[in-house]
Copies of this chain bind each other. A is one copy, B any other.
Amino acid sequence: MITSHNGPQPADFTDVRATNLAVVLRFVRENAPCSRADIAATTGLNKATVSSLVADLIDRRLLRETGLTEHRVGRPATMLVLDGSPYAAIGIEVNVDYITAVAVDLKGEELLNWRRSFPGGTSGAGQAVAAMAALARRVVSRMTKEARQVLGLTVAVPGLVDVNGIVRVAPNLGWRDADLAGDLTKALRDPGFPVLVDNDANLAALAEHRFGPHRNAANLVYVTGEVGVGAGIVMDGRLRRGGQGYSGEIGHIEVDPAGPTCRCGRRGCLESVAGIGAILARTAPDASPSELELEIDDVVRRARNGERDILELLENVGRHLGRGMAAVANMLNPEVVILGGYYVPLAPWLVACAEEELYGRVLAPGGGGCRLEVSTLGYGAAALGAAARVLDSVDSGRLPAQR
């Protein structure tokens, strides 16, 4: 059944074609290497149709025949794989003190992963655009040198990004109402590919949804563990941004009214009791943003050593985190909640307590089937997701023009 999610839009043949091209492309992505016959058998498309679709995709250099054939009764199949070489998708992640740029090919293979330090916290959005544009240009020229066509660029920003890509508030960066996508497009001077901006948690969720071990889950929530705590929500197989794009702001859910005062002015917000700040406030109150990673390493070391106050601190954080996740699970019933950011190294001391609280508080039988897992994508999840956002456009049928 064809459904268009935002109001009814008429369909015609080009839509059928685009849909079926996307079906084949996604099938090959998930089942490569595979033959035309496999595709026909599994998707239900006619063999003839599959041949035509595959020919089209090969023409556009999205697929490639490996020539490899299996060894069994019958005519050997010509196997198909995604063609990694001719395209690239770029993702950029802005943080307080660094920018990360990644480029991936159609398969999601990482082509490069550059990290540049960057005084985001102190400079305005204008300077940031210049820095991002400079980095983007270098990535693009590298991709061009490798004879790759850039399909798009997406920027992940820690903050509220509205549905039009305007950065409304990015507290850690000190930005307000910045038209980052527009400014960056201008700075890149007609780049020939779309430039998009989205929230970092949303994009990290997208990365998990496409590349993570739970990529089959149509309903998942990714939780960022930085100074701020935010969530990206995938429901029914797509990112859900809400009416204005501000969904997933779980950092200021109240989990402990007796807790400390949050930077938002109220008490006991999830972020203030279970965010990374809540840990560092106790262990390294004067740490600057650029020292976060080192400080967390130190916390991990002390936890490994079994230091009692650290273990208690982490258990407490885990419990509060579990309460927050219970609210998430009760409201959204995801198949999995994935903890990211600095929660990853701390996970061994957080997850058990968090799970206990979670399962104790979820109303649905068996916790509604909701598992609490730890991200395996590393710190660059948002940047990876930003690149995945580009690939999503391709997957949903906006294929690059024929040669």
Q: Which residues of B contact A334 (CB under 8 A)?
A: 242-243
Q: Which residues of B contact A251 (CB under 8 A)?
A: 363
Indicate if the CB atoms of A330 and B250 lie closer than 8 Å. yes
The count of identical subunits is 2
In the complex, A201 Cα to B149 Cα: how many Å?
Answer: 48
Contact flags A4-21 to B (C-beta < 8 A → 1, else 0)? 111111111101101110
Closest Cβ of chain B: how far from A69's Cβ, in Å? 26
In the complex, A240 Cα to B250 Cα: how many Å?
Answer: 19
| Interface residues in A22-81 (C-beta closer than 8 Å to B) | 22-23, 26-27, 43-45
Q: Which residues of B contact A148 (CB under 8 A)?
A: none
In the complex, A11 Cα to B43 Cα: how many Å?
Answer: 10
Closest Cβ of chain B: how far from A266's Cβ, in Å? 7
Indicate if the CB atoms of B2 and A2 lie closer than 8 Å. yes
| Interface residues in A173-205 (C-beta closer than 8 Å to B) | none
Indicate if the CB atoms of A2 and B11 lie closer than 8 Å. yes
Q: Does A235 contact B (CB under 8 A)?
A: yes
Closest Cβ of chain B: how far from A170's Cβ, in Å? 12
Q: Which residues of B contact A330 (CB under 8 A)?
A: 249-250, 252-253
Q: Does A369 contact B (CB under 8 A)?
A: yes
In the complex, A217 Cα to B6 Cα: how many Å?
Answer: 10
Q: Does A218 contact B (CB under 8 A)?
A: yes
Interface residues of A (CB under 8 A from B): 1-13, 15-16, 18-20, 22-23, 26-27, 43-45, 160, 168-169, 217-219, 231, 233, 235-238, 240-258, 264, 266, 323, 326-328, 330-335, 360-365, 368-370, 396-397
Indicate if the CB atoms of A242 and B11 lie closer than 8 Å. no
In the complex, A160 Cα to B235 Cα: how many Å?
Answer: 18
Q: Looking at the complex, which one of B6, B231, B237, B333 makes contact with A237 (CB distance below 8 Å)?
A: B6
Can you name the residue of chain B whose Cβ is closest to the Cβ of A398?
B1
Indicate if the CB atoms of A332 and B368 lie closer than 8 Å. no
Indicate if the CB atoms of A236 and B240 lie closer than 8 Å. yes
Indicate if the CB atoms of A332 and B364 lie closer than 8 Å. no
Q: Which residues of B contact A235 (CB under 8 A)?
A: 235, 240, 242, 247
Indicate if the CB atoms of A45 and B243 lie closer than 8 Å. no
Indicate if the CB atoms of A1 and B23 lie closer than 8 Å. no
With A18-B2, A45-B10, A363-B251: A219-B243 Cβ-Cβ less than 8 Å: yes
With A1-B397, A252-B361: A237-B160 Cβ-Cβ less than 8 Å: no
With A2-B397, A4-B19, A363-B264: A327-B254 Cβ-Cβ less than 8 Å: yes
Q: Looking at the complex, which one of B241, B252, B331 makes contact with A231 (CB distance below 8 Å)?
A: B331
In the complex, A245 Cα to B169 Cα: how many Å?
Answer: 34
Sampled A-B contacts (6; CB under 8 Å): A1-B396, A13-B16, A243-B333, A247-B332, A250-B330, A331-B332
Closest Cβ of chain B: how far from A201's Cβ, in Å? 12
Q: Which residues of B contact A253 (CB under 8 A)?
A: 326-327, 330-331
